[in-house]
Structure 1
Amino acid sequence: MQIIGLALIATVIALGFLNKPQAQISFFDIHALCIVLLGTVGAVLLGSKPRDFMRTFAILQEFLPFLGHYGRTTRQMEVERRRLEALWIQGRRWDAITLAEQSSLATTREMLQQIAARASVALSENRFTAFVHEVMDEHESSLANWEMMAKLGPSFGMVGTITGMIQFFKTFASGTSDLGAAMSLALLATLYGIAFGAGIASPIATFIQRLMNDRISVIERCEKTARQLISMGD
């Protein structure tokens, strides 16, 4: 992964000094865009394990209504928590057991096990803390990578701007009038970098953080509910 990352960084530098045909300054410059995107992806590759790199971009499926499942699973955890609590309070113990046995969620099954066994506070904290650690292990690397891309996007935009200015002065010194391509790269690279960092990578990092916080909050409520039901039984 690191070798691929280094290759992408080298490609970014090469793109900056690539001679382009004369062009008018416009809103779109493919070289500037590639410098920003390839640079940020290369940086992620340099600092990531293969599993973490795949998770970084796999999280994007959560933005799609039919592919996103993490937020939906979190909401299901909350629904089952409330239903298990209601059934147990109503004395419908068999229905509560059936709900937990049929559930695909480990938190629901764990709640019932702790309630039935009248688990100690220490055991309860230990088990639900393990669930929290699983959430953090699954998403912290993705969050860190998107936060890094939010910071590095403008930096690679400056790489494009600097190489574009070098090309501009080189072309200017040669006495030719072919300045459009160099100016396009110099002006648009920073724009793309800032837009990518502030408009794409940073909101995605915020989204991942919210997914984590929502899941952790539900896990904490599951632990609290289990403790309350045990106390009621006592």
Structure 2
Amino acid sequence: MFGRFDIATLIGLIAGFGLLALAVLLGDGALNFINLPSVLIVIGGTLAVTLISFNLGDVGRAFPTTFGVVFRRPRDASQAAMIAVKLADEARRKGHLGLPRTLTGVRDEPFLRKALEMVADGTPTAEIERILENDMASIQSREKGVAQILRRAAEVAPAMGLIGTLVGLVQMLNRLDSPADIGPAMALALLTTLYGAVLANMVLNPLATKIERHASDEATLNRLYAAAACSISRKENPRHLETFINSLLPPLKRVQFYAT
């Protein structure tokens, strides 16, 4: 079930909301922290203001992109680098005619598969570079756009909590002559602030950071794959590719396919 799940996200969500739930349960009980009008003001208001800031299509695409990042286990750059060098070495030994069979082993890497398909089809190297650079820019722009939407929603959520607090205070002041109605109004006033802070700082901002980190890691891996495809297309020595790939990676992530 959790084979493709980012375990860090799972641990963070469980720990964060678990500690919050424990603090609530150790108090007067969970029911005191449940208020439907507060939920509607914070979540509904945050979504509404976010839709005002962006168009419907952008916000709609943000949901699958966010879930795709959360439910996908991070890939190891060293493993990707080793795959790239091995592919270049195999192409060097067997030639481009062996690439179609290699494609079956990279089904989970659509960017690499597309790059190798262009090499196998005999696409000029300059065109491969141009197409892959455009693809990388498009992928990074899409994920950064989603992170921007989440950042904006994180800014709005506490503001909606403050608006809910003001609504609750107005209701409370209008009901000072009815003590029984003061409690629900005060709950609305306080809980909307709590909900807004939790939504912004425990959900939206961390997810935006996760997506930005994922976009950076994805860009590095795609650069590795693009370099491998172009190297194979030029029929270069795979040792040169290994040296170039290692220059893109931090020291602890560098690979050594060829014995020195």
Match of residue 136 from structure 2:
132
For residue 35 of structure 1, what is the amino acid of its counterpart? I
Shift of 1:148: 0.7
Q: Shift of residue 128 of structure 1? A: 2.2
Superposed CA offset, 1:151-174 (max 9, x none)? 1111100001111111122222xx
Which blocks of at least 5 consecutive residues in structure 2 are unaligned? 1-30, 241-260
The equivalent of 1:212 in structure 2 is 215
Counterpart among 37, 43, 51 of residue 57 in structure 2 = 51
Tell whether the 8 Å contact from 2:150 to 2:207 is kept in structure 1 after alignment.
yes
- Tell me, yes or no, if the aligned pair for 2:164 and 2:192 is still in contact at 8 Å: yes
Residues 99, 116 of structure 2: 8 Å contact kept: no
Distance in 2 (alpha carbons) for counterparts of 1:81 and 1:197 = 39
Cα distance in 1 between the residues matched to 2:186 and 2:229: 64
1: distance between equivalents of 2:144 and 2:88? 31
Provide the secondary structure at the position in 1 that maps to 2:54. coil
Provide TM-score, normalisation by structure 2.
0.64
Q: 1:79 to 1:166 in 2, by over 3 A?
A: farther
Give, in whole Å, the separation in 1 of the partners of 2:215 and 2:63: 16
Residue 37 (structure 2) pairs with residue 31 (structure 1): yes
Shift of 1:57: 1.6
Flag the 1:109–1:157 CA change in 2: closer, same or farther, 3 A: closer
| Identity in percent | 20
Residue 226 of structure 2 is matched in structure 1 by 223
- Check conservation: 1:101, 1:109, Cα contact below 8 A: no
Say if 1:100 and 1:109, in contact at 8 Å, map to a contact too.
Answer: no
Q: 1:92 aligns with which of 88, 91, 94?
A: 94
The 1:59/1:181 distance shift into structure 2, 3 A limit, reads same
Q: C-alpha offsets along residues 192-228 of structure 1, whole Å, 9 cap, x if unaligned?
A: 1011000011111122222222221111112333454
Measure the CA separation in 2 of the matches of 1:206 and 1:106: 23
Change (3 A) 1:64 1:186: same
Q: 1:171 to 1:28 in 2, by over 3 A?
A: same
Structure 1: 5+ residue stretches without partners? 1-24
Instruction: Give the distance between the partners of 1:176 and 1:144, measured in 2 at CA.
Output: 45
Write the distance in 2 (CA, Å) between the matches of 1:47 and 1:78.
Answer: 39
- The answer to whether the 8 Å contact 1:115/1:226 transfers is no
The amino acid that maps onto 1:108 is R
Aligned mates of 2:153, 2:35 — CA distance in 1: 20
Quick one: distance in 1 between partners of 2:220 and 2:60? 26
Contact 1:160 1:189 survives alignment (8 Å): yes
Aligned twin of 1:107: 112
Q: Which amino acid aligns with 1:176?
A: S
CA drift at 1:101: 7.4
Distance 1:77 1:138, change over 3 A: farther
Runs (4 or more) in structure 1 with deviation over 6 Å come to 74-79
2-structure distance, mates of 1:82, 1:232? 10
> Is the 1:131–1:219 contact (alpha carbons within 8 Å) kept by the matching residues of 2?
no
Please give the residue correspondences for 1:189-208 in structure 2 after superposition, counting only pairs within 5 Å.
Answer: 189-208=192-211
Q: Pairwise CA RMSD of aligned residues?
A: 3.4
CA contact (8 A) 2:147 2:211 kept: yes
Tell me, what secondary structure is at the counterpart of 1:171? coil
Q: Give yes or no for the alignment of 1:232 onto 2:237.
A: yes
Of 55-64 and 218-227, more deviation after overlay is shown by 55-64
Change (3 A) 1:125 1:37: same
* Structure 1 residue 49 displacement after superposition: 2.6
